[in-house]
Structure 1
Amino acid sequence: MKLLLSTLVALILFLGYGHAGSAEELLTEEQSVQAVKEASELQAALTEKERPLNEIKAMMEPYFTHAFIEKYVKENVKETENGYIVYGSDFTPYSMPYFNYEEDLSFGSENNTHKLFQFFPAEEEGPVSYDDHYEAVLFVHENGEYKIDDVIFSETEPKTESPEVKQSPFNVSLIFDQSDAVSFGNEGGFSFIWNPYFKMKTLLSAYAYDVKSAAGNAE
Structure 2
Amino acid sequence: MRKVYVPVLMFFVLIIYILPDSPKASEDQLNSREKVFQFLESAFQAQISLSEKDRTMEEIDALLDPFFTKQYQQQFLEVNLQEQNGKFFTYGTDFGQLYIPFFAFSENTKVVIEKKKIYVFEYFPKNQLGPVGYDAHYEGLLIDKMEEQWKVSQYLVNQVPETIIRQALEMQETSE
Q: TM-score, normalised by structure 2?
A: 0.68
Consecutive unaligned residues in structure 1, runs of 5 or more? 1-20, 163-219
- The alpha carbon displacement at 1:103 in A equals 4.0
**Alignment match of 2:85 (pick from 59, 77, 81):** 81
Shift of 1:45: 1.3
Distance in 2 separating the partners of 1:122 and 1:62: 34
- SS of residue paired to 2:145: strand
Residues 46/84 of structure 1: CA separation in 2 closer, same or farther (3 Å cut): same
Residues 144/110 of structure 1: CA separation in 2 closer, same or farther (3 Å cut)? closer
Name the CA distance, whole Å, in 1 between partners of 2:29 and 2:86. 42
Contact 1:40 1:95 in 2 (8 A): yes
Change (3 A) 1:126 1:26: closer
**Equivalent in 74, 89, 99 of residue 70 of structure 1:** 74
Q: Tell me, what secondary structure is at the counterpart of 1:51?
A: coil
1:35 aligned residue: 39
Higher RCO (CA < 8 A, seq sep 6+): 1
- Per-residue deviation, 1:40: 1.4
Deviations 1:116-161 (A, max 9, x none): 1111112211222111111111111123221111111118765425
Larger radius of gyration: 1
- Equivalent positions of 1:39-188 (< 5 A) are 39-109=43-113, 112-154=116-158, 158-160=162-164
Match of 1:215? none
One-letter code aligned to 1:79 = E
Q: Deviation digits for residues 10-64 of structure 1, max 9, x if unmatched?
A: xxxxxxxxxxx99x95632222111111111221111122111110111011111
SS at match of 1:74: helix
Instruction: Number of aligned residue pairs: give it.
Output: 142
Change (3 A) 1:155 1:122: farther
Q: What letter is aligned with 1:129?
A: G
When normalised by structure 1's length, the TM-score is 0.56
In 1, the alpha carbon distance for the partners of 2:83 and 2:141 equals 27
Whether the 8 Å CA contact 1:33–1:116 is kept in 2: the answer is no
Answer 1 or 2: which has greater helix percent: 2
Question: Does the 8 A contact of 1:105 with 1:116 survive in 2?
Answer: yes
